[in-house]
Amino acid sequence: MEHASAPILVAIALFSSLILWNIFTARRGKAGFIRRIPGLNEIDEAIGRATEMGRPMVFHPGVGEVQNVGTLAALGVLGHVARKAAQMGTRVIVTTAIPVVVPVAEDIVKQAYMQAGRPELFNSEDIRFLAASGDQLALATANVMEREKTAAHFFFGMYDYTSLLLTEPGQRTGAIQIAGTDQYFQVPFFIASCDYTVIGEELYAASAYLTREPTMLGSLIGQDYSKIIVLAVILLGALSVTFLGSQNPIVQILGATR
Amino acid sequence: MTKRRFIALVTFLAGLYYFLEFVVPPTVPWRTLRGEVVSVSDTTLTLLVDGAERQVTLLPNLIAYRERPNGAPERVEIQQLRPGDRASVGPSTYLSDYITSVNNFFIVLGSMAWGMGLISLAMVHSGNIRRRRPEWYGSVLFFIAVAGGMVAGLGYGRESGWLKEANDVVFNYLLRPMSSTVFSLLAFHMATASYRAFRIKSGEAALMMASAFVVMLGQIPIGMWLTHGLPSFLQLPVMAQWVLYIANSAAVRGMWFGMMVGAIAVGLRFWLSLERGAFFDREL
């Protein structure tokens, strides 16, 4: 296994402290402003449209294992989609190729329906493990879209080559499609075949943006401070190499040379 | 203890092991020697540290890391070290020794979930059959396929016999070509998706179209042929390389920095059970 080097250790400690500090500051009621993310704004719009049409929605939490950060972020989005769907009395069908995701997604959706005071609408058959491999899952999900005449499709999480196999059949059904992934190779495919795409870290910010909970907002602000530090270090490194050469003390402290 | 607090505690303890395993060095730092290997015997290892030879008695808790040419450490058995190698040797902090066992535990736990997946499928398809939903006979086929697949799976690794034949038919002659067929659909999906993406509807779409045009032409000989008479910076292959390796790399690296910081934040929120909306309906 890999072990943290000294600069990585310092970076983890610094970023974690910043994020936790901002979380606890936000919990004390000092939450900040976060900018608008169009793709995430449209989630409620898509749920509303599906409700008006009286059709179900499909949520696909990616092809990553449950411990994958992208999958965890996607499950956060699923919580919001399920809550809204429960409030509006709309069905949300979750399809996955990862068996461990089934009980977790089931619990999230069930809780959302119970919170909305409509537990009778929850149907465990709507949390579907369809196939063990990505391409078979894509076919089966396309079949669900066709058969159930779904009106909104959400694709959040980690994706591989199946991204296009999932979204192109969805595009043909005329449903509104919103996708978000941290796999930048798949981003162009989502942009081409979905109505809205959430890119990279916006996926990790999604549950914070959607729930507007102080904890989540604080975490986002902490992330932004951490990114400012990363940017400052990059600038410092670039300037020091430009003016002092590649073996200067700053570069050696940062661990960029061995 | 409520269910939520129990989940939070288990999540914290499981995460704590991985966190400590990553941040704690594999050997006790103040008792670790780093230097060039002089000799290795069954009982002792001699290292050249700061110009002086140091002998290390080989105790069972000692572990060694050899430095690769790029400086990255590689865990090796002490007897695998050769004179001239750069290595660090010290007593183990034990955390890394259990990583395989802990990973295996999670693999076992994960494999239990396959049963849940099968139960989920069985519930959906038995519901289809019970309620005579449209195309319910497809669900009957599902149960036949599962039974057939399980029997055929028994033929895995066999040299001969009908089970091997069944395994070949199901996995090699049916599933594999079908997967290839689905994969080949990607080509058509890409064509339709590209057509939609390349319609110039906005300034951004025009920019995307122009850069795609440059990159595509720059990758093929006709791009070179079309622009070989122009100054080098205006030749399509050069422009394509610039788009791919300068403009694109800068954007991708920017995304990566954001994603890595985001991953730390998501990891912290889940580890400390601060994530509201996924596993908990309110903050703990």
Flag whether B20 is in a domain: no
Phi then psi dihedrals of residue A176, to 5 deg: -75, 135
Q: Are A98 and A63 in contact (CB under 8 A)?
A: yes
Per-residue three-class SS string for chain B: CCHHHHHHHHHHHHHHHHHHHHHCCCECHHHCEEEEEEEECCCEEEEEECCEEEEEECCCCEEEEEECCCCCEEEECHHHCCCCCEEEEEEECCCHHHHHHHHHHHHHHHHHHHHHHHHHHHHHHHHHHHCCCCCCHHHHHHHHHHHHHHHHHCCCCCCCCHHHHHHHHHHHHHHHHHHHHHHHHHHHHHHHHHHHHCCCCCHHHHHHHHHHHHHHHHCCHHHHHHHCCCCHHHCHHHHHHHHHHHHHHHHHHHHHHHHHHHHHHHHHHHHCCCCECCCECCCC
Residue B122 contacts by C-beta under 8 Å, 6 or more apart in sequence? B143
Chain B residues with CB inside 8 Å of A188's CB? Answer: 197
Report if residue B258 sits inside a domain: yes
Closest CA in chain B for residue A218? B265
Per CB-CB distance under 8 Å, the chain A contacts of B103 are none
Task: Please state the domain count of chain B.
Answer: 3
Distances (CA, A) of A26 to A13, A29, B265, B268: 20, 5, 15, 16
**Contact yes or no for A69 and B263 at CB 8 A:** yes
Indicate the domain borders of chain A: 6-30+213-254, 38-211
* Residue B282: per-residue pLDDT: 52
Residue A103 contacts by C-beta under 8 Å, 6 or more apart in sequence? B113, B116
Q: Do A219 and B274 touch (CB under 8 A)?
A: yes
The alpha carbon dihedral of A75, A81, A87, A91 has a sign of negative
Query: For residues A145 and A170, is the Cβ–Cβ distance under 8 A?
Result: yes
User: Does residue B167 sit within a domain?
Assistant: yes
pLDDT at B276: 60
CB contact (8 A) between residue A164 and residue B190 = yes
Query: Nearest C-alpha of chain B: how many angstroms from A77?
Result: 8
Question: A-chain residues within 8 Å CB-CB of B104?
Answer: none
CA distance A254 to chain B (A): 16
Count the neighbouring beta carbons within 10 Å of the beta carbon of residue A152.
Answer: 29
Q: B21 to chain A: which residues are within 8 Å by CB?
A: 1
Q: What is the DSSP-derived secondary structure letter of residue A126? A: G
- Give the minimum alpha-carbon distance from B55 to chain A in angstroms, rounded to a whole number: 26
Phi then psi dihedrals of residue B280, to 5 deg: -125, 140
Clarify whether residues B86 and B139 are in a common domain: no
Q: Comparing C-alpha atoms, which of B75, B129, B72, B125 is closest to residue B97?
A: B75
Rounded to an integer, the average pLDDT of B131-150 is 89
Q: Do A100 and B113 touch (CB under 8 A)?
A: yes
What CATH number labels A38-211?
Answer: 3.40.50
Indicate whether B7 belongs to any domain. Answer: no
Average pLDDT over residues B230-248: 90
Tell me the one-letter amino acid at A52.
E
Taking the C-alpha atoms of residue B104 and residue B11, their distance in angstroms, rounded to an integer, is 17
Count Cβ–Cβ pairs < 8 Å, chain A vs chain B: 185
Reference A128, options A99, A148, A156, A151; nearest CA is A99
> Which residues, other chains included, contact A47 with Cβ-Cβ below 8 Å and sequence gap of 6+?
A57, A81, A84, A85, A88, A90, A152
Whether B136 is in a domain gets the answer yes
Answer yes or no: are the C-beta atoms of A31 and A217 closer than 8 Å: yes
What's chain A's length in residues? Answer: 258
Domain range spanning residue B134? Answer: 111-187
pLDDT at B281: 52
User: In this predicted model, what pLDDT tens digit does every residue of B149-184 receive, in sequence order?
Assistant: 999 999 988 888 899 999 999 999 998 898 888 888
CB contact under 8 A, A103 and B113: yes
Asked if residue B230 is part of any domain, the answer here is yes
CB hemisphere CA count around A130 (13 angstroms): 24
B-chain residues near A86 (CB < 8 A): none
Of B37, B64, B92, the last residue of a domain is: B92
| B241, part of any domain | yes
Q: How far is B276 from chain A (nearest CA, A)?
A: 8
CA distance A37 to chain B (A): 15
Closest CA to A141 of A61, A86, A214: A61
pLDDT < 50 positions in chain A: 258
AA letter at A157: G
Give how far B218 is from chain A: nearest CA, Å.
19
The three-class DSSP label of residue A177 is strand
Read off the pLDDT of residues B176-219 as tens digits, 9 standing for 90 and up.
898 888 888 888 888 888 887 777 677 877 888 888 889 989 98
Closest CA to A164 of B177, B182, B199, B212: B182
Tell me how far apart the alpha carbons of residues A217 and B244 are, in angstroms, rounded to a whole number. 35
Contact check, Cβ <8 Å, A192/B194: yes
* Helices A69-88, A201-211: inter-axial angle, 10-degree rounding: 30
- Residue A149's pLDDT is what? 93
Count of positions (residues) in chain B:
284
Going by pLDDT thresholds of 50, 70 and 90, the confidence category of residue B284 is very low
**Tokens standing for residue A119:** 């537990």
Instruction: Report the alpha-carbon distance of residue A70 to residue B266 in Å, rounded.
Output: 9
Minimum Cα–Cα distance from A67: chain B residue: B267
CB-based contact, A193 to chain B, within 8 Å: yes
Residue B282 lies in a domain: no
Q: Cβ(A215)–Cβ(A27) under 8 Å?
A: yes
CB contact under 8 A, B121 and A129: yes
* Region of residue B12 (phi > 0: left; psi between -120 and 50: alpha; otherwise: beta): alpha
Long-range contacts of A142-148 (CB under 8 A, 24+ apart): A142/A166, A142/A169, A142/A170, A144/A58, A144/A93, A144/A95, A145/A58, A145/A169, A145/A170, A145/A173, A145/A175, A146/A173, A147/B134, A147/B135, A148/A55, A148/A56, A148/A58, A148/A93
Between chains, do A4 and B23 touch, taking CB under 8 Å as contact? yes
Contacts of A198 (CB under 8 A, 6+ apart): A37, A39, A40, A156, A178, A179, A180, A181, A206
Nearest to A100 among B25, B110, B259 (CB): B110
Q: Does A35 touch chain B (CB under 8 A)?
A: no
> Looking at residue A15, what is its pLDDT?
93
**What is the percent of chain B with per-residue pLDDT over 70, rounded to a whole number?**
96
Kindly state whether residues B129 and B177 are assigned to the same domain: yes
Q: How far is B133 from chain A (nearest CA, A)?
A: 11
Residues of A in contact with B252 (CB under 8 A): 184
Chain-chain contact of A1 with B121 (C-beta, under 8 angstroms):
no
Token code pair at residue A173: 């059904």
Q: Do B83 and B128 fall within a single domain?
A: no
Do A189 and B193 count as a contact with CB atoms less than 8 A apart?
Answer: yes
Interface predicted TM-score (ipTM) over 0.85? no
CB contact under 8 A, B277 and A207: yes
Alpha-carbon separation of residue A8 from A3, A96, B267 (angstroms) = 9, 35, 16
